[in-house]
Amino acid sequence: MSRTPLDPVLEPLVEGLDVRSARRVHGGDIAVSYRLETADGPLFAKTHPRPTPDLFEREAAGLRALREHAPAPLRVPQVLRESPHGLVLEWIEEGRRRGGRTESELGAGLAGLHRTSNPTFGGLDGDVSGYLGSVEVDLTPSTDWPSFYVHRRVAPLVERAIREGSLDPRARGLLERVEPRAAEICGPAEPPALVHGDLWGGNRLVDADGTNWLIDPACHWGHREYDLAMMQLFGGFGPECFEAYDEASPLDAGWRQRVSWYQVTPLLVHAILFGGGYGDAALRALARYA
């Protein structure tokens, strides 16, 4: 049977999968995404002709970690193929949420995922670097979360954003004022949790059965409030989700006061990648704690 010619970047990734055709679909700002029609059903693929080093390999490792530890009914797509230029995953047939039930199941499932722990904060399997979007971040392991968050995450992103002209240099002075209070601002000490790392509304899918799926992770061992803060940056998650999370794994009473603090890093990443008003939003967040 004849098949549609494939993109040259996609061709070696899907060799042997009996792909009959590939159709471009929505799938993020960094990679090119496809629905692959195969003899055994549809698959999802994403590629990039010139990716940053280990971008897809790290994403694959994060998906495997989430898939291993996410409790039912929370689901994560299986990685079928990976290469330096892309991934092939199982296809998720998107559907509609079942109201509060879908939200509650996500909250309870995420709480269960976050109970997966590790001796240190930082990268999976000892990795010392990773990505938020396509921005490289330092994941050198540490036993001290406030130090990790300030020195491995916020400070380098502040410097890069200032250097690239997407953040007011006043942010440097604000961070200097915040740093001595980092232990207080980061909240009560908690064990490292396996976090998704980039959990905005677009990285949560709901399938035709109303089941929640997590995609496009930036997994690392971090503070669980980091995921919860990211979930509130652009919306897309109902109150039932956070209520179910708190019921399954109670949060410190002050966690909502730390949401803006943990939103600083995704705001900085967005400032670096997209410019616009993200730099000003990051500056306001820093000023709130300074």
What confidence tens digit (pLDDT) does each residue in 56-98 have?
Answer: 999 999 999 999 999 999 999 999 999 999 999 999 999 987 8
d(CA 282, CA 257): 16
Q: In the 3-class helix/strand/coil scheme, how is 201-270 assigned residue by residue?
A: HHHEEEECCCCEEECCCCCEEECHHHHHHHHCCCCCCCHHHHHHHHHHCCCCCCHHHHHHHHHHHHHHHH
Show which residues are catalytic: 198
Residue range(s) of every CATH 3.90.1200.10 domain in the chain: 100-289
Question: Is a pLDDT exceeding 80 seen at residue 157?
Answer: yes
> For the domain bounded by 11-90, which CATH number is listed?
3.30.200.20
Q: What is the pTM of this model?
A: 0.94
Output the pLDDT for position 2. 42
Tokens representing residue 31 in the block: 């990679």
Residue range(s) of every CATH 3.30.200.20 domain in the chain: 11-90
Share of the chain above pLDDT 90, in %: 90
Instruction: Please state which CATH class domain 100-289 belongs to.
Output: alpha beta
pLDDT per residue as tens digits for the range 162-215: 999 999 999 999 999 999 999 999 999 999 999 999 999 999 999 999 999 999
